[in-house]
Amino acid sequence: QVRLVESGGGLVQAGESLRVSCLASTTIFSIYAVAWYRQAPGKQREFVATITSSGRTDYADSVKGRFTISRDNARNRMYLQMNSLKPEDTAVYYCKATANGRIYWGQGTQVTVSS
């Protein structure tokens, strides 16, 4: 069992930046493909960004050029740097880890962007 704990959410104004992080309780974090998802009130959870064990990244069109996903395998952490935030980025942000057919989710961290 892998536990994922997100942190770093908060309230910011439009145009500002925020970085959220996710700590994994595993010593083999490097083998996991990890991703960020988000869920806004009344909407389905949606994909934001992913980074594979080899470092390949992919982003949702809505965040390309503004968000950057990264990972630090030595610290069992992943990050999402969010720049030029917009009110429509307001959501609960979840981290997800996948390996060997198993999927783990964190509990989420709230990001609120005011206009």
* Distance between first and last Cα of the chain: 40
pLDDT at 34 over 90: yes
pLDDT on residue 100: 85
Residues 50-88: tens digit of each pLDDT: 999 999 999 999 999 999 999 999 999 999 999 999 999
pLDDT on residue 59: 98
Distance CA 52, CA 71 (A): 9
Q: Of 9, 94, 3, 5, which Cα lies nearest the Cα of 50?
A: 94
